[in-house]
Amino acid sequence: MAELVWTPRAYADLEAIGAYHAQSAPGYAEVLVRKLMHAAERLATFPNSGRVVPEIGDANLREVIYRNYRIIYMHTPEDDKVEVLTVFHASRQFGALPGEANS
């Protein structure tokens, strides 16, 4: 089983997603964040189950989709480690800063 690690950026993304949804539906926000974390937890057992991120094309950089969110992670087989890098809404372009338009 691989080690699952969340980066500070990924945690900040989850906090931002939760805060956004808490404005209108606090109960939903809590459930959504928990389910996003749960979607990533299976990567410890199945690290290659996500698809390769299409914008990048690197076999070690993968993503899992949960509802409208992309969970981007790096799998390093040498270390047997899965590192969750970022979580964001699928309407955003990968690598775009908040507020930037999709191209």
Tens digits of residue pLDDT in 24-82: 999 999 999 999 999 999 999 999 999 999 888 889 999 999 999 999 999 988 888 99
Q: What's the structural domain count of the chain?
A: 1
Alpha-carbon distance of 34 to 31, in angstroms, equals 5
Indicate whether 82 belongs to any domain.
yes
The pLDDT of residue 96 is 53
- Residues whose CB falls within 8 Å of the CB of residue 20, separated by 6 or more in sequence, listed in order: 29
The pLDDT of residue 95 is 64
Residue 27, phi then psi, degrees to nearest 5: -65, -40
CB 84 within 8 A of CB 7: yes
The pLDDT of residue 78 is 87
Kindly state the tokens that stand for 19. 């805060």
Q: Is the pLDDT of residue 101 over 70?
A: no
Kindly state the tokens that stand for 51. 């698809």
Indicate whether 10 belongs to any domain.
yes
Three-state secondary-structure class, residue 57: coil
Residue 52: give its domain's CATH number. 3.30.2310.20
Q: Write out the residue range of the structural domain in which residue 58 sits.
A: 3-89
Residue 101 or residue 83, greater confidence: 83
Kindly state the tokens that stand for 52. 């390769």
Residue 102 or residue 46, greater confidence: 46
Q: Is the pLDDT of residue 98 over 60?
A: no
The pLDDT of residue 55 is 87
The pLDDT of residue 91 is 84
